[in-house]
């Protein structure tokens, strides 16, 4: 079992749901990324999605795109990210999942990437630009290494393809709540609840919902049908203020925001 499998097994036994912040590695720098991971784990986050900066957006909205650009401008590289993670994971029980472009995995070598990420303490990968029907080789390596390969299902995914994606997924399914790119929304489509309820009947995998979630009312709406909820742009936007404000002030603000969302879970 991977660390993610163990997490969801424990959460289900306690009738609890996962809260998963998205954090960009290296914005404003890797030291602050490490501080955010530690602080949000202390606040009660169950798991983290760690964005690996890449020059071409993969369903990323403007807030996350901008954070990637800032990190790349500072020459943030994969090895340094792994080094940072390796200093955090001994102190943080919440699993960390890397979110990255397949080109990064491919350039490093599929098996080499998985082994290096796992050695750093990363528990899995989300690779949004790798189609499920082309993921067989990476999926096999991940299964062999107990490294979760999380795949995405969207509102436009057909039923047959949703089942195929679920068969290739380990760890949890990332259900995309809206069509389009990431970013904070005022309202979420009401059909999400029915869509996820249907998906739950097709698979025993945990289902985490992401994209657009930013308010306590979103959490209350989705938590009855989800195993976990992912919040990205709203957190990245607050972290970005560390480029101009005192870091402790920003850390407290992000932590208070996460506590507010957790209170609705």
| pLDDT interval class at 202 (50, 70, 90) | very high
3-state secondary structure of 89: coil
**In 3D, which of 122, 127, 114 has the Cα closest to residue 169?**
127
pLDDT at residue 254, rounded to an integer: 98
Mean pLDDT for the stretch of residues 30-57: 95
Tally of residues, the chain: 265
CB 205 within 8 A of CB 165: no
CB 188 within 8 A of CB 218: yes
Mean pLDDT for the stretch of residues 182-206: 82
In angstroms, rounded to a whole number, what is the distance separating the alpha carbons of residues 17 and 196?
A: 15
Mean pLDDT for the stretch of residues 39-51: 98
The pair of three-digit structure tokens given for residue 100, joined into one six-digit string: 């990255």
Q: Is the pLDDT of residue 57 over 80?
A: no
Which residue numbers are catalytic? Answer: 49, 60
**In 3D, which of 91, 70, 72 has the Cα closest to residue 80?**
72
In angstroms, rounded to a whole number, what is the distance separating the alpha carbons of residues 225 and 235?
A: 23
Q: Which DSSP helix (H) or strand (E) runs through 142?
A: helix 136-144
> Phi first, then psi: what are they for 149, rounded to 5°?
-110, 100
pLDDT at residue 129, rounded to an integer: 93
Domains of the chain: 3-260 (3.20.20.70)
Mean pLDDT for the stretch of residues 177-198: 72
Check whether the bond before 28 is cis (ω within 30° of 0).
yes
Q: What is the DSSP letter of 44?
A: T
**In 3D, which of 52, 50, 49, 258 has the Cα closest to residue 174?**
49
| pLDDT interval class at 187 (50, 70, 90) | low
Mean pLDDT for the stretch of residues 242-264: 95
The pair of three-digit structure tokens given for residue 37, joined into one six-digit string: 């991971």
Mean pLDDT for the stretch of residues 201-223: 93
> Phi first, then psi: what are they for 152, rounded to 5°?
-105, 140
CB 145 within 8 A of CB 115: yes
């Amino acid at each position: 079992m991977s660390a993610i499998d163990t997490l969801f097994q424990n959460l289900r036994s306690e009738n609890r749901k996962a809260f998963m912040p998205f954090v960009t590695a290296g914005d404003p720098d890797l030291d602050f990324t490490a501080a955010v991971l530690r602080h949000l784990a202390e606040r009660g986050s169950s798991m983290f999605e760690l964005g690996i900066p890449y020059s071409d957006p993969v369903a990323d909205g403007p807030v996350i795109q901008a954070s990637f650009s800032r990190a790349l401008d500072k020459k943030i590289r994969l090895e340094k990210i792994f080094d940072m993670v390796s200093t955090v994971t001994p102190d943080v029980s919440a699993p960390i999942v890397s979110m990255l472009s397949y080109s990064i995995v491919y350039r490093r070598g599929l098996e080499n990437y998985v082994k290096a990420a796992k050695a750093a303490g990363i528990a899995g990968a989300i690779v949004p630009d790798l189609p499920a029907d082309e993921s067989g080789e990476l999926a096999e390596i991940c299964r062999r290494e107990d490294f979760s390969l999380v795949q995405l299902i969207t509102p436009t995914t057909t039923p047959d393809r949703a089942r195929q994606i679920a068969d290739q997924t380990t760890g949890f399914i990332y259900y995309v709540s809206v069509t389009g790119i990431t970013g904070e929304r005022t309202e979420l489509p009401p059909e999400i609840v029915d869509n996820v309820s249907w998906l739950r009947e097709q698979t025993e995998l945990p289902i985490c919902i992401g994209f657009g979630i930013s308010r306590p009312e979103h959490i209350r709406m989705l938590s009855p049908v989800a195993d976990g909820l992912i919040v990205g742009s709203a957190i990245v936007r607050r972290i970005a203020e560390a480029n101009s404000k005192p870091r402790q002030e920003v850390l407290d603000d992000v932590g208070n925001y996460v506590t507010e969302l957790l209170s609705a879970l």
